[in-house]
Chains A and B, each alone.
Chain A
């Protein structure tokens, strides 16, 4: 694994970019390919993939809080709920804004809630923080259950969808593949409209979710490889030493919390839009645990690890629905095995590789700088 990674890093830049683009294209095309074995039987594959992207998004956000800054957050679903409810209220329940206008508001509201929760609680450490956040997640859900303005148990329906491009039929139709006996055909009967956010075909939502995930992965990388990312890690490793080395640890912990809330709120708003209906049962404590499981299983602190973790946690139960009764048992067993064999997760961060990457980034920076100077002269 490590060797593959190192070989990848030493590839010339254009080749690397090409490989990434191919990977992204494959990810976008995945629901159209209808690959046997991978495609979920009996459940709409596009819908499953959309949920996978939401888990991935949430895992990226939670990884900033838990993996980078080392703050154990057991109530992350609270932020997810705030994002979802803000979008729901603004587009359906109390106003009729378009979704694209409500998402920024939802995200800002969630970020503010993150700061409000973090400001008093981030002064406590470790276990105490876990308990406080656990309470936060439940409080948000109970508020939604009991406040009429938030729809109580009935929930909120008719949440706005993203705007379709090209009307009801989309700009053009993309045929899916059909896997016959030893032949692969284009199936012109089974098509996806580009780009119509409708009720039946969930693939466009998946594309939207995947785009957001890719954007967040980029943002995550940029922030991680900077003073901010280093400050988070230093705080996680030794808070007192970090503070004495000039890191305003409280401020950076709050920043991590707010950033995590931002991503969680975004995921919540997208989820609400896709479901078109939410109620408090969409935000049970169980989801906080599953989100955390995605981060821990994948390898906290490694952005690709947590994405893999999210894929496993969200996809496998759907793929093996026929074993429904044993799902939780298998999941629990898998966690125990993981704890025994790979306590740091499937893909823990490889820091030496990262250091080499850092060197290369800096070389690129320096090249860029020389370019600037040449331009100035």
Chain B
């Protein structure tokens, strides 16, 4: 749990490493023999991988390979048919979705899902509230906890908006932000929940090459702050450039895992992406 009693400094330095800096390796998330079936369709078939602390792991594969399904299983949207998902040593299978988030897994969405009629700042505050406990009575009587959490949440939200470069639009409605800013806001909102692991679902979708480069730098910056990142991405160049390790899915099965350079030369991966005759592939 993040230390909430610690006061955020008045002028927070977004570049400074967070208190939950890499604590020397060890898997943050372990996916063990994960299988997920929808009726007769097997969306994920015996998939296993892990993510180490402070690592950027890429999850790639052709359309329909099960990347987002895998995400949804990790964040509690789908319940696995079999297999286990362990986060920081404990199983999170069957846990309520909001509890998983409070435990420290945050995500963004492939199709942007902000709260459109709330301001950018309020969107991030909702994320920050994941670690807050203010209830009806605390709010009604403006007890110290409410005041402290509002102040901390606000400071943190502004710090994150600044980190994402959209702090000037804090008071704009989320619906009125440009497409790119909406994507950035989603990342800020996810980071506000104080996650250990942040899952980005195709964050570069719809970006032009310049924006993609900017995003790569941003993802590295996120990691440098002590977050562990799980990244789904179509854009091979981006994935190769930013990740430490890559897991490749195809038709719900893991077909390869390794460093970007290894993946690039892996014949099975090339086959999956470019398509080859069945005889060659086997």
Q: Which residues of A are in contact with B by a Cβ distance under 8 Å?
A: 219, 222-223, 226-231, 233-234, 237-238, 240-249, 255, 259, 351-352, 354-356, 358-359, 362, 365-366, 368-369
Contacts and interface: CB of A to CB of B under 8 A. Distances in A.
B119 A240 contact: no
B117 A369 contact: no
A257 to B, nearest CB: 13
Contacts of A228: 134-136, 139
Contact of A242 (B102, B107, B126, B151): B126
A249 B139 contact: no
Given A230-B122, A233-B122, A368-B147, 12 more contacts: A222-B139, A226-B146, A227-B146, A231-B126, A241-B115, A245-B106, A245-B189, A246-B127, A259-B136, A351-B117, A352-B119, A366-B151
A234 B113 contact: no
B129 A365 contact: no
Interface in B92-144: 96-98, 101-102, 106-107, 109, 113-119, 121-122, 125-127, 129-132, 134-136, 138-140, 142
Contacts of B182: none
A237 B129 contact: no
B151 A227 contact: no
Nearest to A255: B136
A231 B98 contact: no
Interface of B: 75-77, 96-98, 101-102, 106-107, 109, 113-119, 121-122, 125-127, 129-132, 134-136, 138-140, 142, 146-147, 149-151, 153-154, 170-173, 189-190, 193
Nearest to B195: A246
B149 A358 contact: no
Contacts of A245: 98, 101, 106, 126-127, 130, 189-190, 193
Given A226-B146, A243-B97, A231 B129 contact: yes
A24 B151 CA distance: 31
Report, nearest first, the 7 A-B pairs whose CB atoms are least far apart. A246-B130, A226-B139, A246-B101, A237-B115, A355-B171, A241-B113, A227-B134
A248 B138 CA distance: 17
A266 to B, nearest CB: 15
A246 B129 contact: yes
Nearest to B109: A241
Nearest to A230: B126
A230 B151 contact: no
A223 B136 contact: yes
A212 to B, nearest CB: 15
B193 A351 contact: no
B136 A352 contact: no
Contacts of A233: 115, 117-118, 122
B115 A238 contact: yes
Nearest to B124: A245
B115 A234 contact: yes
A352 B98 contact: no
B45 to A, nearest CB: 25
A238 B126 CA distance: 12
B101 A237 contact: no
Contacts of B146: 226-227
A365 B150 contact: yes
B107 A355 contact: no
Contact of A219 (B117, B134, B140): B140
A321 B153 CA distance: 53
Contact of A241 (B114, B131, B139): B114
B110 to A, nearest CB: 12
A345 to B, nearest CB: 14
Nearest to A356: B171
A259 B115 CA distance: 23
Nearest to B153: A227
Residue among B77, B97, B154, B170 facing the most chain A CB atoms (10 A cut-off)? B97
B139 A234 contact: no
27 contacts: A222-B139, A223-B140, A226-B134, A226-B139, A227-B135, A228-B134, A231-B126, A231-B129, A234-B115, A238-B113, A238-B114, A238-B115, A241-B109, A241-B115, A244-B75, A245-B127, A245-B189, A246-B98, A247-B126, A247-B129, A247-B130, A351-B118, A351-B119, A351-B173, A355-B122, A355-B170, A362-B151
